Homo-oligomer: A and B are copies of this chain.
Amino acid sequence: MDKTPSLDFLFRPKTLAIAGVSANIGSILTLPQRYIRSLIDFGFKGQIYPVHPAGGEIFGLKVYKDIEEISDSIDYVVAAIPARLTPQLLTGCARKKVKAVHLFTSGFSEIEDEVGKMLESEVVDIARKNGIRILGPNCMGIYCPETGLTFAVDYPEQGGFPNISGPLGLISQSGGNTMFCIREASTRGIFFSKAISYGNATDLNESDFLEYFTDDRNTKIIAIYIEGVKDGPRFIKALKRTASLKPVIVYKSGNTESGIRACASHTSAMAGSANIWRGFLKQAGAVPVHSMEEIVDVSLAFLKMPVPKGRNTVVIGSGGGVGVQAADECTEAGLILPVLPQDVRIKLRNIYGTEAGSIFRNPVDIPGFAAKDKSITAVKSIADSDQIDSLIMHFPFDLWGIIDRKEIIWQYVESVLELAGLVKKPVAVVLHYCATAMAKQLAAEVQEKFVNAGLPVYPGFKRAASAINKYLQYHERGENG
């Protein structure tokens, strides 16, 4: 596994030309202008060559009138020009011996239009004959923090998104979903080796990228958003092999008649039957999920929690009604909430004096977490029990008597942070019941603290419990198979 995967050149171009960038900057940057801006801001390590028939200069870079006017050799070309002009561009790329073309451009096989389909096959033809690999069309392309290659413009200006690499590799048929996933993951402490938005997959497809990530040493977990496969038998083989080596999380969309139709309109994908996919993913040993958020939820369990010994979970937090909901949702998601052993309950009663206003069974209701030492001793006693495999610590923000007393919230945060260091078992945090703008903002601040401490944070029990359950299922599969 120590060889460099053959597609590695895609992620580290030394020279990049982008066709379709006008030097005229209006009140809003055009998409290709923003693409260049983001490469510069993201610290792209290669040379950037804007191309546009009108020439000029943009962001201090000369705009070439034609790709063949560039004297440097070109590794990677981004096409942001109308579909009808792409065959001509590809012919130029062939003469320049370009290795890869990313077709940002849409208007090919995904629209119901014979011209679009013909254009797509013409472009592929030229590429195949000249050894050019095509990414797309109709996609955002590659995000690779290591080399600064990115399509990820419009990051929050407050520096919320650092240009750092991580263990997750994302293969996504949707550019918007890729963008959202990168942002959602980063706010929850997960970063990427690479993320690839690959659109219509007319040449490079899901299997190419899956094989790439299988061999990529920097990728520990793979996540896929897929609408339909281009080459079924190859994908089946690739997924089985990969899933035996690394966790593969798969969000297959297009599970209903209208969803299948939407796939065709979006990326010309043939979505296939939801039942067949379900069986196939299970057999291949992949982890099936149902949204981009769930990709992040499940990745968090894999990356931020040791594997729980079993399903016995304790839920600890404030609120009685919330506790009932926690018990229902965790159990329905496949976890078990055993009653705390009598000796632990006696310890808790000794700590708090009485059970009135509290609940010491499981879920455990410790109002307020106001007394830090007490709560640390209490949770430690619970976690030490050999009948407990993992802990879910929750904090409901918009409950009576809490929201306005911020000191209690920060005491709670301190307690949980200290506990996370003391407890030798997997811990997940649920921050929820955020109705008001104030609660939402406080929850975001608290989340940041926990994320920085390496804790997995979820916005509800359902999502936390389901992620832990899928994590357990993945490892049980290993034991049973």
**Interface set of A (CB-CB < 8 Å, partner B):** 28, 31, 34, 83, 106-107, 111-113, 116, 140, 151-158, 160-161, 172-177, 179-180, 183-184, 186-187, 225, 227, 253-259, 261-263, 265-267, 291-292, 318-328, 330-332, 336-337, 339, 354-357, 359, 361-363, 365, 396, 398-405, 407-408, 433, 435-441, 444
In Å, the complex CA distance between A356 and B111 comes to 7
In Å, the complex CA distance between A154 and B368 comes to 14
List the B side residues contacting A153 at CB < 8 Å: 400-401, 404
Which 3 pairs of residues, A with B, have the shortest CB-CB distance? A174-B321, A107-B356, A266-B320
Q: Please tell me if the beta carbons of A331 and B436 are within 8 angstroms of each other in the complex.
A: no
In Å, the complex CA distance between A366 and B440 comes to 30
Q: Please tell me if the beta carbons of B400 and A258 are within 8 angstroms of each other in the complex.
A: no
Q: Please tell me if the beta carbons of B354 and A324 are within 8 angstroms of each other in the complex.
A: no
**A176 in complex: contacting residue of B263, B319, B331, B355, CB < 8 Å:** B319
List the B side residues contacting A140 at CB < 8 Å: 400
List the B side residues contacting A336 at CB < 8 Å: 258
In Å, the complex CA distance between A441 and B156 comes to 12
How many copies of this kind of chain does the complex include?
2
**A106 in complex: contacting residue of B266, B356, B398, CB < 8 Å:** B356
- A271's closest neighbor in chain B, by CB? B324
Q: Please tell me if the beta carbons of B262 and A403 are within 8 angstroms of each other in the complex.
A: no
Q: Which of A161, A363, A436, A440 has the most B CB atoms < 10 Å from its CB?
A: A436
Q: Please tell me if the beta carbons of A261 and B156 are within 8 angstroms of each other in the complex.
A: no
Q: Please tell me if the beta carbons of A180 and B396 are within 8 angstroms of each other in the complex.
A: yes
Provided the pairs A324-B263, A331-B257, A436-B183 are in contact, do residues A83 and B398 lie with their beta carbons within 8 angstroms?
A: no
User: A154-B402, A254-B328 known; 6 other A-B pairs, CB under 8 Å?
Assistant: A28-B408, A156-B437, A180-B433, A184-B435, A256-B331, A266-B365
List the B side residues contacting A180 at CB < 8 Å: 396, 398-399, 433, 435
Least Cβ distance of A226 to chain B in Å?
10
Q: Please tell me if the beta carbons of A322 and B177 are within 8 angstroms of each other in the complex.
A: yes
- A160's closest neighbor in chain B, by CB? B436
List the B side residues contacting A438 at CB < 8 Å: 156-158, 160
Q: Please tell me if the beta carbons of B253 and A325 are within 8 angstroms of each other in the complex.
A: yes
Q: Please tell me if the beta carbons of B319 and A174 are within 8 angstroms of each other in the complex.
A: yes
**A359 in complex: contacting residue of B183, B262, B354, B357, CB < 8 Å:** B262
Contact sample, A vs B, 28 pairs, CB 8 Å cutoff: A28-B408, A106-B356, A107-B356, A111-B354, A111-B355, A152-B400, A153-B401, A154-B405, A156-B404, A158-B438, A174-B319, A176-B399, A176-B400, A177-B319, A183-B398, A183-B436, A184-B398, A187-B435, A254-B324, A258-B327, A258-B330, A262-B323, A262-B359, A266-B321, A266-B323, A267-B320, A440-B440, A440-B444
Q: Please tell me if the beta carbons of A157 and B404 are within 8 angstroms of each other in the complex.
A: yes
Q: Which of A321, A357, A438 has the most B CB atoms < 10 Å from its CB?
A: A321
Least Cβ distance of A296 to chain B in Å?
9
Provided the pairs A151-B400, A258-B330 are in contact, do residues A266 and B324 lie with their beta carbons within 8 angstroms?
A: yes
In Å, the complex CA distance between A439 and B361 comes to 39
Provided the pairs A396-B176, A405-B154 are in contact, do residues A361 and B262 lie with their beta carbons within 8 angstroms?
A: yes
In Å, the complex CA distance between A447 and B158 comes to 23
Provided the pairs A176-B320, A267-B320 are in contact, do residues A328 and B255 lie with their beta carbons within 8 angstroms?
A: yes
